[in-house]
Structure 1
Amino acid sequence: MQALPPEGDKCSIRYGGLRVLQAALLDRVSAVTRPKFFRDPLHLQIRFDLADEGKRYGATLLRIIDSGVFQRLRFVRQNGLANLVFHGAEHSRFAHSMGVMHVARTMYERISRNMSEPESEDEKFLIQVAGLVHDVGHGPFSHTMEEVLKENGVDFHHENMTKRFILEDGSEIFRLLSDIDPDIPDKLMPFFDKKRRVIDSWQYRIVSSQMDADRLDYVQRDALFAGLRGHGFDIERVFDLLFHHENSIAVDRGAIEAVEAYLVTMDQLYRAIYNHHAVRAATQMLLRLFRRAVKLHQGGNHSVFPPVLGASHPMSELLVQGDKIELDKYLRLTDAAMWSLIDVWQFSDDQILSDLSSRIVGRRLFKTISIDPIDVAKTQSLIARAEDEVARVYGEEARDYYVMIDEPTRTSYKGYDWRPDTPNESIWLTGGGQAPRPLEDEDENAIVTAFKQKRHFPRLVLPEEVREALRKC
């Protein structure tokens, strides 16, 4: 474009209109090519490149974020009821999914660089989309809702809902992806369904493995928002020394300490947050609350899940249809929708529904007692005494809702399995002048050896006044 005279020139009036036009064109070029940035409390800045040779990959990622399917994740908390114990843990599946996309892209770029393999814009786009939408199928209260449905015999898996949002014509995500290439939805399936993998690839492990973008984000994000500042690892060291070995994620031996720190951090978070006794007590209370609501609903009390604007409540639809529920009805199921029910249930004529709801809303959580599952006689005696006390205070029917055995388990590391039909779960070590080998086979790796053992956290969950009565006895 020809240079224009300076502002003070006598011809500037003549060229005034052209100056406005030139500025507008430059602004338009800048708007098209300038990356879009999102501020993130963990990763600080998440970038979306918009200049991708006409393939519209970056713009499509932004449109997916703006879709109703993805925006719904703003109203699904990442950690269920953990915020009742760790008051900073208010973050959402939305923020986590943004972080997973960012980490997935970084992993792909660093592995390609370290392996001296050219990046493929098509592959990188698929990996970013897979990371972005991996949680869109989650229901309210995340994994807790799946436990509620499973307890009531409802066939539901959030992974199936994720696949439906990608594959079905009525989904906004399906339309956005198909506008670029009708084959993209099917190409995404191997990231979520191992049976759909014609050829296995290390790219899939970026989204789902023992050291994938999902875990690398939530381990840091959950610790940050729970206020556990001492829980962390050197993720930049991990990124810079990432490789792949055959179809698995691998790291150079120079990053072994960072990988071990990552595994230790994850193990500690399960003990400190996810399996915290008060978090588990709140979760069990929520499970029993919905057990009661479902029982009342199935018994004919349809006011428990009241119609909304003349249509049946989406929760009652979910109980009948499971993961076959219509997508537009499922989109209405968020934490906010469930909390609105719990708020109303506080005033129910049903004593159990009302009491459990009021306790959860008012954060009057049940307490826990550690139990020894090996000493069966003592445990059964304790449970019987607790149930008798509950029946005396709250009525006979309360036995099924006020005394709960909670036994979460955790295996922090899954080692290599040589059997051909078993997926390779190991993190591999490369470099150092040695042949690649699984992390757990490294000499004197006591940390990983310990993490291969399955651990149990058995507790009895019951009202505080019942626990005190048991202690007095």
Structure 2
Amino acid sequence: MGYSEQKLQEEKVFKDPVHRYVHVRDQVIWDLIGTKEFQRLRRIKQLGTTFLTFHGAEHSRFNHSLGVYEIIRRIVDDVFDDRPKWSEEDRLLALCAGLLHDLGHGPFSHSFEKVFDLDHEHYTQATILGETEVNAVLRRVEQDFPKKVAEVIAKTSDKKIVISLISSQIDADRMDYLQRDAYFTGVSYGHFDMERILRVMRPHEEQVVIKQTGMHAVEDYIMSRYQMYWQVYFHPVTRSAEVILTKILHRAKELYENGYSFRQEPTHFISLFENTLTLEDYLKLDEAVILYYFQMWEAEEDEILRDLCRRFVNRNLFKYVEFDPAKEYKKLAELSVLFEKAGLAPDYYLVVDSSSDLPYDFYRPGEEEERLPIHLLMKNGEIRELSRESEIVDAISGKRRTDHKLYYPEDFLMDDSTMKTIKKQIRTLLDI
């Protein structure tokens, strides 16, 4: 028996609050979970700064990755098993790609990526293909198996059905994070009937389709996703924390480039600041490391870095007002001048932040991003795109919602012990 077929003597289970249990019988999966690169995901929060808004949101990328694996395991072992158009040879590929799909996420994922122009998907592939423990496990399956797994995650594989299990508009990734994030934030929006959706999934040609009888469960899933984005993922308090986090990283980078002498040398950041980041450097970064520096930088001489770090560590966040940058650009210019006069650097203390989401769309030729639509398998065997059958989905298809807010330090503006006149002008403009 080859390594790819080896089973554990006894099934291992992880107790899980969302799926009850995560089941592992494959030796390959068990060995991947035990690698240092996968264990690192325990130190990366799934929801970044959301724990500062919803105090229960402390769950990790490790939790989520196991959850995605479990959903895919149930699909390929319980739903797709022995069905035409599904190849049993793709089973292990799907399980490994699902387990490892988030392997390259960095600390405070998306905020961190924006500042340093990084891409977690690049680092996921680099970790799978590089000189890592994960790569060594995958190569034991076969020499080019790491490449096959990386191609599925990069969506360049010819195994289109496997890709759609992990990355489409209804996939194991989304089905896990919606339920998991709803559970840990304590909200009700992210719940939908996953059991029903799994039962009506079918492999068909180059993607997974949904039996027509499951259409209403899919409608519920799409609306759950819509609500989660606007009630949780784009929550303005969470965005305030992200704004401050981003500004801390920008300030530290700017200071380093200007030759500033840090009391706490930013050792883990130097290759980021100098654009010489290696995979080894990247994998040493986690949220405990970042928070250590933030705590140390609370004692820095630079007033801006010191203040921003104190705000983040102690949750003294920026307040916000609704703001339309297209219509209110003159107001923003006026505020920038007044902030300068008040001794507040507008680049760091007056920030426009935008949130945007497209809850569902079908493929539109010429678009930059090809969105694989959800297809229904009709009773007569015909395949129909979801929004052609569902009035609910049709009503939101292709409709992007965007929201803009202006963030500022209210505590400073409310303190009239200094520059009372200027601060009053700012408050009038902000209508606070």
TM-score (norm. length: structure 1):
0.82
Q: Does 1:99 align with 2:48?
A: no
Instruction: State the Cα distance separating 1:419 from its structure 2 match.
Output: 7.0
Q: Does 1:361 align with 2:361?
A: no
Q: Does 1:136 align with 2:103?
A: yes
SS at match of 1:256: helix
Whole-angstrom distance in 1 between the partners of 2:185 and 2:92: 32
Instruction: State the Cα distance separating 1:135 from its structure 2 match.
Output: 0.9
Distance 1:316 1:448, change over 3 A: farther
Q: Does 1:346 align with 2:298?
A: yes
Name the aligned partner's letter for residue 161 of structure 1.
Y
1:390 aligned partner: 339
Matches within 5 A, 1:370-449: 370-374=322-326, 376=327, 379-395=328-344, 398-417=345-364, 423=370, 425-433=372-380, 435-442=382-389, 445-449=391-395
Instruction: State the Cα distance separating 1:451 from its structure 2 match.
Output: 4.0
2:269 to 293, 310, 315: 315
Q: Which has the larger radius of gyration?
A: 1
Whole-angstrom distance in 2 between the partners of 1:241 and 1:100: 18
Name the aligned partner's letter for residue 384 of structure 1.
A
Instruction: State the Cα distance separating 1:326 from its structure 2 match.
Output: 2.7
Can you list the C-alpha shifts for 1:302-347, whole angstroms capped at 9, x where unaligned? 537726xxxxx2321123336xx33322221000110001001111
2:280 aligned partner: 328
1:10 aligned partner: none
SS at match of 1:407: strand
Q: Is the 8 A contact 1:342 1:357 kept in 2?
A: yes
Whole-angstrom distance in 2 between the partners of 1:346 and 1:421: 42
Can you list the C-alpha shifts for 1:286-314, whole angstroms capped at 9, x where unaligned? 1111111100011112537726xxxxx23
2:112 to 145, 150, 166: 145
SS at match of 2:169: coil
Q: Is the 8 A contact 1:243 1:252 kept in 2?
A: yes
Can you list the C-alpha shifts for 1:125-146, whole angstroms capped at 9, x where unaligned? 1111111111111111011111
SS at match of 1:372: coil
SS at match of 2:202: strand
Q: Does 1:46 align with 2:22?
A: yes
SS at match of 2:336: helix
Matches within 5 A, 1:30-45: 32-45=8-21
Name the aligned partner's letter for residue 201 of structure 2.
L
SS at match of 2:108: coil
1:250 to 162, 185, 209: 209
Whole-angstrom distance in 1 between the partners of 2:119 and 2:372: 22
Whole-angstrom distance in 2 between the partners of 1:123 and 1:389: 61
Q: Is the 8 A contact 1:245 1:428 kept in 2?
A: no
Can you list the C-alpha shifts for 1:128-184, whole angstroms capped at 9, x where unaligned? 11111111111110111111113xxxxx2111111111112x211111111231121
Matches within 5 A, 1:107-256: 107-113=75-81, 115-116=83-84, 120=88, 122-150=89-117, 156-168=118-130, 170-194=131-155, 196-197=156-157, 199-256=158-215
Distance 1:59 1:462, change over 3 A: same
Name the aligned partner's letter for residue 67 of structure 2.
G
Whole-angstrom distance in 2 between the partners of 1:381 and 1:316: 38
SS at match of 1:243: strand
Distance 1:271 1:467, change over 3 A: farther
Name the aligned partner's letter for residue 381 of structure 1.
K
SS at match of 1:457: strand
In percent, how many aligned pairs have the same letter?
Answer: 31
Q: Is the 8 A contact 1:233 1:261 kept in 2?
A: yes
Q: Specify every segment of 5 or more residues in structure 1 that has no aligned partner in the other structure, as ranges.
A: 1-30, 50-57, 151-155, 308-312
Whole-angstrom distance in 1 between the partners of 2:351 and 2:114: 14
Q: Is the 8 A contact 1:248 1:424 kept in 2?
A: no
SS at match of 1:251: strand
Instruction: State the Cα distance separating 1:420 from its structure 2 match.
Output: 12
Whole-angstrom distance in 2 between the partners of 1:422 and 1:355: 39
Q: Is the 8 A contact 1:389 1:466 kept in 2?
A: no
Name the aligned partner's letter for residue 63 of structure 2.
A
Distance 1:118 1:383, change over 3 A: closer
Q: Is the 8 A contact 2:262 2:300 kept in 1?
A: no
Instruction: State the Cα distance separating 1:350 from its structure 2 match.
Output: 0.5
Instruction: State the Cα distance separating 1:114 from its structure 2 match.
Output: 8.1
SS at match of 1:339: helix
2:408 aligned partner: 462
2:4 aligned partner: none
Instruction: State the Cα distance separating 1:110 from its structure 2 match.
Output: 4.5
Can you list the C-alpha shifts for 1:176-197, whole angstroms capped at 9, x where unaligned? 1112311211221321223x43
Q: Is the 8 A contact 1:366 1:464 kept in 2?
A: yes
Whole-angstrom distance in 1 between the partners of 2:274 and 2:384: 48
1:290 aligned partner: 249
Can you list the C-alpha shifts for 1:89-146, whole angstroms capped at 9, x where unaligned? 00011111111111122222355248445661x4211111111111111111011111
Distance 1:305 1:295, change over 3 A: farther
SS at match of 1:231: coil
Q: Is the 8 A contact 1:253 1:431 kept in 2?
A: yes
Whole-angstrom distance in 2 between the partners of 1:135 and 1:230: 24
Distance 1:462 1:392, change over 3 A: same
Name the aligned partner's letter for residue 151 of structure 2.
P
Distance 1:415 1:90, change over 3 A: same
Q: Does 1:303 align with 2:271?
A: no
Q: Is the 8 A contact 1:191 1:208 kept in 2?
A: no
Q: Is the 8 A contact 1:74 1:94 kept in 2?
A: yes
TM-align CA RMSD: 2.3
Name the aligned partner's letter for residue 71 of structure 1.
Q
